Structure 1
Amino acid sequence: MSENLESFSLLWLDRSVNASQENIAAQSKLRAIINHLKTFEKAEECEKYIRKCPETDRIVLIVSGGLGQQIVPQIDQLPQLSSIYVYCMDEKKNREWSKNHPKVKHVLASLPKLIHQIESDQIRKDNTEESSPISVSETNKPTDRSSIGLTSRYVYSRLLIEELIRMKPKSEDKEKFISLCEKQYQGNETQLKYLKEFQDKYTPDNAIRWYTKKSFVYRILNKALRVQNVQLLYLFRFFIRDICHQLEKYQCSTPVTVYRVQSISHDELQGLKRSIGKLIAMTSFVSTSLDQDRALKFRDNNSDLPQVCFEIYADPKVEGIKPFANITSL
């Protein structure tokens, strides 16, 4: 399979992972939840693969009880490992050893229950962990809304996006993007169905609707913005441009206070604590809620990452502010 264009990967470690029709059928169902699936029969190969992954990756691991006791103590502190599911015959026995490892979220003996649990958990992760890094200003002047003092990464990202928006998309950009996605989702009937719908029905006027569907478009764009995949963002510029134009069209005319719950790294949390009163910036589109209680419902109590609730006051009259809109009716 080609490079993973999404943030999450799913690994399945079991000596018989490919030995039964039930497991093979389960792999197709799991790919409908997390597309990038790799299977392993040996703990050493699985651990080697995980350690080679960047720390910014988000890995979900399914592991048998026996191999879990072998590999989990070696990897449970790795930041790229998001969560672990133990699929076994003896739930009681495996809950005993796994209770000392917080990243083990569930111990299950039923394959259908395992798939359902991963699907349920992933919906919540999509809301809180599909996010961009936070850049913090070095200046102590919160009123300075320019990019002065912000990290070079943020400044580069901002200039890149502005240039992509200015560029007129080519007619073949969308087809190249679709071709890339066809290779990425080969064999994944669920996402290929969404891709066909995107190919047939996408228009500039429904860009935001496609982004909020939380389908492949949402996940690919978020990762491309987070890791600054310039080649992919260049292909995606038609979509980025359309979203920005829609936000400008439906720009709020009065100030609003909105809320967002987001998982962040431990380093980002410490950076925020040290930066009270300073300017922060995010390098992607940010979905928020007007209702704080509603935003807090998206908290993922099983996440291994710290979670924060951002309260954002947005005033359209502020000079140089980026467009924002209430998209509930779109």
Structure 2
Amino acid sequence: MDKQKSTITAAGGLSTKAVTTNHAAVLPQPVRRVLQNFLLIWLDANFDESKDHYNKSIQDLQHIVATITTFTDVDQCVDFLSDIEDEKVLMIVSNALGQHIVPEIQALPQLHSIYVFCDNQSINQPWTKTIPKVKGVYTQIEPICEALQIDRRNCDRGMISISFNRIDPLFMYTQFLKEALLEIEDDDTKSIKEFVEYCRLQGDVSEKTLEKIEREYRDHTPILWYTGPYFICSMLNRSLRLMDVDVILKMGFFIRHLHQHITDLHHEQQSSKAAMPSKFQVFRGQRLSLKAFGKLKKTKGGLMSFNNFLSTSRNREISLESFAQPAAFEMDSVGILFVMNIDTATCTSSSTPFVNVKDDGFYDDQEEEILFSTHTIFRIDGIEHIEDKHADRLWQVNLTLAGNQDDDFNKLTVHLRQEINLVGTGWSRLGQILIRVGDFDKAEHLYQLLLEKASSDGPKAQYNGQLGWVYDAIGEYSKAITFHERAANIYQKMRPPDQHGLATSYSHIGNVYIHMSEYSKALSSHERSLEIKKKALPPNHPSLAGSYLNIGLAYSNMGEYSKALSSQERSLEIRKIALPPNHPDFAQSYNNIGMVCYNMSEYTKALSFLQKGLAIRQKSLPPNHPDIAQSKRNIENVKKKM
């Protein structure tokens, strides 16, 4: 017997045999695209959307979940469910099929909740009592919708991106990521139209909702759109969790609007009689995976960042009972009650705005919700087990708002800002951050999209250069040189030629050749870059120091250590004139000179320079930074030779 096809039901009432998209992406896109943190599967051998009661049920469900996938065949349903990795699945199943399939699939981590839908005569189903993920047996769609509302919120809460200092690479770039997202300047009218059209093409959002956004977006506040019964909150949080560049591109305008609204209201509220106390507590209950909880315990005393807009509550009881306790019963998870100590002075000094949403949110404010802007940073003060007779995986995590003025975080940010020199627009900066954290596929996709949209030579050259950087990072060196040369050609043809861009392109080409072990070509490219800079810049400009440093590295790789030392010393001379004392770049120079001396068997000199470099790094970097560890390793290697 042939398997029947599943259907994906869009929230606009359309059914198709497969999820498709007309989005003109440069790179291949996955067949199925989900815009929220969750989707709904409905398995019923008798499902027929042409029948009124099924059609009406789908319409009711569409107010809660955008993507609804229906199946009449068990095997096809299991195959589909097994392929889902990035979302949680809410599942409606008939009793007839459920008693056979549910015991087999209950352990799948992506399966969050199961709702058994029966006819009026089969309310008592003993098999459902032994499976925790089964939320109940239902004879009407309305109570399923009510249960879905709760579980949808729990899914969203438990699927936000959290990064930890000392463990997650993304944490180091938290401040830059926030700046990049908030600096994006798009035409609002055009952006809203493109966002709606994008959602329309995905087929996951009801046409009625999209028309409402298109027609009424400016009539309501961003906070209302974010807190309301729409897809926007979940879609935004999912995109930030997965760094989904397609969706972030389309939602950049909303990220900026929501942050600005929170900032403006924060100033209003804090200068009024309704201002929050100077110090207060908020709470947040949620699920945390065992893996994330392990990271949190390792970071105790360190910093963590919530990489999204953060919803918290003044009401501890609701946070604990409605969100933390239910999460403690989920497989491979713990229930967490975050207790956050807030000092409004820290909020002001670190640009960490928050707002009481009671007058601006969509719902009645039973939770006493306090909404923080994106990428809020906390210090982890302590972790305590919460005694509960029903759940043993329930924990309280005590946090203190740190903001971007925390000493360790500030040191790291200052160093990285000097080291990586992020340039360009918010979008371009976002791509550079993706490269830095190793998300090369996403960076490539973003720059391809930006290049496709670019209409002037400057951005075209810049995006070609950034793509060259991506391909260099993933080892596609010939491709990297091609894109850097394209960038150089564009810079050369501009009137007047962009000398800075041209010099940068040749410098990047030189770096690629070093990675290819073609050191003569690398030297030639870096010398060409230096000659351009000499004509365009003052004699002691810091950029010249970078060129001399690169030339020195090329000579080192060629075994010409005397020439390498001369170039590295010239780089250091310029930096002493151009940069303030203890600038992190001095550590790089001292380290490079030390390693050249090491290769020349001048171990005493090598040790002296390496120790100078270590001293600067210890002053300018957090104690756990990998550059400090590198300096210490180099020093140990020198000492072994002495």
* Structure 1 counterpart of 2:112, from 82, 94, 98: 82
**Post-superposition CA distance 1:181-223 (Å, at most 9, x none):** 223456x6xx433332222222397111211114121121121
User: Offset at 1:297?
Assistant: 5.1
After superposition, the Cα gap between the structure-2 partners of 1:192 and 1:130, relative to the gap in structure 1 and judged at 3 Å, is same
Distance 2:175 2:112 in 1: 29
| 1:221-236 alignment runs, 5 A limit | 221-236=236-251
1:174 aligns with 2:192: yes
1:97 aligns with 2:127: yes
Which residue of the partner structure matches residue 160 of structure 1? 177
Distance 1:78 1:222 in 2: 23
Question: Which amino acid letter does the alignment assign opposite residue 166 of structure 1?
Answer: E
Query: Would you say how many aligned residue pairs link Structure 1 and Structure 2?
Result: 310
Distance 1:202 1:17 in 2: 37
Which residue of the partner structure matches residue 271 of structure 1? 295
Distance 2:334 2:305 in 1: 18
1:11 aligns with 2:26: no
**Structure 1 length as normaliser, TM-score?**
0.84
* Structure 1 counterpart of 2:68, from 26, 37, 45: 37
Distance 2:338 2:325 in 1: 17
Question: Which amino acid letter does the alignment assign opposite residue 198 of structure 2?
Answer: L
Paired-residue identity, %: 27
**Post-superposition CA distance 1:272-301 (Å, at most 9, x none):** 344433322111001112232343353376
Question: Which amino acid letter does the alignment assign opposite residue 98 of structure 2?
Answer: G
* Matched-pair contact (CA < 8 Å) for 2:41–2:90: yes
| 1:119-134 alignment runs, 5 A limit | 119-131=145-157, 132-134=160-162
Distance 1:41 1:294 in 2: 39
Distance 1:27 1:9 in 2: 13
Distance 1:328 1:153 in 2: 33
Which residue of the partner structure matches residue 583 of structure 2? none
Q: Which has the larger radius of gyration?
A: 2
* Matched-pair contact (CA < 8 Å) for 1:316–1:323: no
The structure whose RCO (Cα within 8 Å, separation 6+) is larger is: 1
* Matched-pair contact (CA < 8 Å) for 2:99–2:127: yes
Which residue of the partner structure matches residue 253 of structure 2? 238
1:57 aligns with 2:81: no
User: Offset at 1:128?
Assistant: 3.0
**Post-superposition CA distance 1:238-282 (Å, at most 9, x none):** 111111112222236533321111222232233334443332211
User: Offset at 1:321?
Assistant: 4.8
* Matched-pair contact (CA < 8 Å) for 1:13–1:40: yes
User: Offset at 1:159?
Assistant: 3.0
User: Offset at 1:35?
Assistant: 1.6
**Structure 2 length as normaliser, TM-score?**
0.45
Q: What are structure 2's unaligned runs of at least 5 residues? A: 1-18, 21-32, 271-277, 361-642
Distance 1:156 1:38 in 2: 37
Distance 1:316 1:46 in 2: 51
After superposition, the Cα gap between the structure-2 partners of 1:239 and 1:92, relative to the gap in structure 1 and judged at 3 Å, is closer
User: Offset at 1:44?
Assistant: 0.7
Which residue of the partner structure matches residue 198 of structure 1? 213
The SS at the match of 2:313 is coil
Distance 1:49 1:325 in 2: 41
Question: Which amino acid letter does the alignment assign opposite residue 80 of structure 2?
Answer: Y
User: Offset at 1:103?
Assistant: 0.8
The SS at the match of 2:350 is coil
Which residue of the partner structure matches residue 343 of structure 2? 315
Distance 1:296 1:214 in 2: 23
